[in-house]
């Protein structure tokens, strides 16, 4: 995969933070903080992100589900009209795909929740889901970056979407842990396996064509700063989501670079981008 030195640098500064988010999830699976209650809590929180969270499908800060839905309603009369405000049918298809992906992710995690919850606990109700402070902070950071920096801010948000699939990659690996939570682990792994490919594609949308943007060195440096800030927020968000399996000291060590970087799979990225381009 041929990439510019600027994009290579962007991946290099991201890799330790991707590794940090992965460590949060990986540590949780066998952490003493883990209980059935904390499993139900993190799944509720993740469902909140999949149902109402900010992300690449967002529109007017309405979330990853309602955002595309409202945008589809607004652009419907503009599809391929040939007018100045014409909207490509392929863009509309991408909106539909994004909405389906995010809602499917919500369904997959909700199904896990309903299978592991005690009988006296109600089934998943998306309208009762609540976010948490660190996720609110991440969302605010993303909204600010888009408001302040326009297309570059959108690119940063796309690049950090899913944190290089850390939750889903580490979730897939939970299937082989065994132990007290073996049943839950296998359900979680199955859901994460289905979600992983979607999220990998979302992350790559932040990379595709980045070298053709015509950005200056200063633009790429700004992109780095936005990405590092967002990925740092992601670690704090994820650590709280999973009831703090990492200590504050360990989180600070990660921010200080005391962690092996997450390897970036250039071959898989190239194959995915080529397959998408051929569609």
- What 3-state DSSP class applies to 79? strand
- The predicted-structure confidence for 213-244, as pLDDT tens digits, reads as follows 788 889 999 999 999 999 999 999 999 999 99
- The predicted-structure confidence for 104-125, as pLDDT tens digits, reads as follows 999 999 999 999 999 999 999 9
- The predicted-structure confidence for 196-218, as pLDDT tens digits, reads as follows 988 887 777 767 677 777 888 89
Whole-model pTM: value is 0.89
Q: How far apart are CA 178 and CA 248, in angstroms?
A: 28
Q: Which H, E and C letters describe 82-144, residue by residue?
A: CCCCCECHHHHHHHHHHHHHHHHHHHHHHHHHHHHCCCCCCCCCHHHCCCCHHHHHHHHHHHH
- Residue for token pair 């948000």: 157
CA dihedral 95, 100, 105, 107 (to 10 degrees): 150
Q: In order of start, what are the domains of the chain with their CATH numbers?
A: 5-278 (1.20.910.10)
**Closest C-alpha to 59, from 159, 166, 173, 146:** 146
211 touches 3 (CB < 8 A): yes
- pLDDT category of residue 57 using cuts at 50, 70 and 90: very low
* pLDDT at residue 58, rounded to an integer: 55
Least confident of 5-14, 86-95, 206-215, 261-270: 206-215
Number of H helices, E strands in the chain: 10, 0
């Amino acid at each position: 995969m041929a990439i510019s030195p600027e994009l290579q640098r962007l991946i290099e500064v991201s890799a330790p933070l991707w590794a940090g988010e992965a460590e949060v999830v990986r540590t949780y699976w066998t952490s003493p903080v883990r209980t059935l209650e904390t499993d139900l809590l993190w799944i509720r929180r993740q469902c909140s992100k999949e149902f109402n969270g900010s992300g690449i499908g967002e529109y007017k800060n309405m979330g990853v589900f309602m955002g595309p839905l409202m945008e589809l309603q607004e652009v419907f009369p503009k599809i391929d009209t040939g007018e100045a405000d014409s909207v490509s049918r392929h863009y509309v298809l991408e909106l539909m795909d994004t909405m389906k992906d995010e809602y499917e992710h919500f369904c997959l995690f909700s199904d896990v929740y309903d299978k592991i919850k005690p009988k006296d606990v109600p089934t998943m109700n998306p309208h009762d889901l609540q976010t948490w402070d660190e996720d609110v902070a991440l969302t605010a950071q993303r909204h600010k970056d888009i408001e302040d920096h326009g297309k570059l801010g959108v690119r940063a948000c796309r690049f950090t979407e899913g944190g290089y699939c850390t939750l889903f990659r580490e979730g897939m690996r939970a299937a082989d842990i065994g132990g007290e939570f073996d049943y839950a682990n296998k359900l979680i792994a199955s859901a994460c396996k289905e979600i992983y490919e979607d999220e990998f594609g979302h992350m790559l949308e932040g990379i595709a064509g980045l070298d053709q943007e015509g950005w200056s060195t200063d633009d790429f440096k700004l992109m780095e700063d936005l990405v590092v800030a967002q990925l740092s927020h992601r670690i704090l968000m994820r650590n709280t989501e999973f009831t703090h399996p990492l200590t504050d000291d360990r989180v600070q060590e990660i921010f200080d670079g005391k962690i092996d970087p997450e390897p970036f799979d250039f071959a898989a990225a190239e194959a995915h981008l080529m397959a998408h381009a051929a569609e």
